[in-house]
Homo-oligomer: A and B are copies of this chain.
Amino acid sequence: MEMAVVTLSGGLDSATLLFWSAKRYDVSALTFDYGSKHNEKEQIAAKELARLAGVRHILIKLPFINDLFKSNLLQSGGTIPEGHYEDASMQSTVVPFRNGIMLSIAVGLAESIGARTVLYAAHAGDHAIYPDCRPDFLNAMSGAAQAGTYINVQIQDPFIGMHKKDVVLLGSKLSVPFGVTYSCYKGGELHCGKCGTCVERREAFQLAGIPDPTRYEIVLLS
């Protein structure tokens, strides 16, 4: 089986990508600790997801991001805003060029282990707010990866045309253990239910008509 590196945050998109990829590739799952408020919870989820998918798991620490970069997503940043994901206030949670940095490292690791594919779980709903989730960025980045490696590593984004509800539907078919995944930007024991990523997560399950196993802090009236 061909090798691939899958970037795995521990959220439901990358968890679905992991289970999708594990059927097609010999997968190394790669998780980053970059000092976000929710990194500890994400890492616990990522490690468990890799174990359940039966793939090796690599954790890379990037402490310089929290030390030097500006974002409210980081432990060194301000408060996480509440409300819908696409609201302008959520821009304060963007970590500058985070995905460029993560994908570059994934590409270097891929060439080191002889894997010609890096898989990344950006989906259509990410585009509105994150410049480094857009097709233009991903195409250019994949071009840089191919030109900048001997084995022409490619970055693939199989979910780029899908909305999050479609990712939930696919994950459900693949029996992804959604209850293990973690998304909340606040990093608490339970998902807050109010930050942008929690709102998006709740909506995706509702739109997909799939039961949401997430334990939220707020009481949901549904």
Contacts and interface: CB of A to CB of B under 8 A. Distances in A.
Interface of A: 58, 60-61, 64-65, 68-70, 91, 94-101, 103-105, 107-113, 131-132, 134, 136-137, 140-141, 143-145, 147-150, 153
- Secondary structure of the A side of the interface? helix
Given A101-B101, A108-B100, A148 B141 contact: yes
A100 B68 contact: no
A148 B99 contact: yes
A69 B137 contact: no
Contacts of A104: 97, 100-101, 103-104
Contacts of A60: 64, 68
Contact of A64 (B61, B70, B141): B61
Given A95-B108, A112-B70, A144 B144 contact: yes
A96 B108 contact: yes
A108 B98 contact: yes
Given A58-B68, A60-B64, A68-B58, A145 B108 contact: no
15 contacts: A65-B108, A68-B112, A69-B108, A69-B112, A70-B112, A96-B110, A97-B107, A97-B108, A97-B111, A100-B108, A103-B104, A134-B147, A140-B143, A140-B147, A141-B141
Q: Which 3 A-B pairs have the closest CB atoms?
A: A96-B111, A97-B108, A140-B143
Contacts of A65: 108
A131 B107 CA distance: 13
A137 B141 contact: no
Contacts of A99: 148
Q: Which of A65, A140, A141, A144 gathers most chain B CB within 10 Å?
A: A144
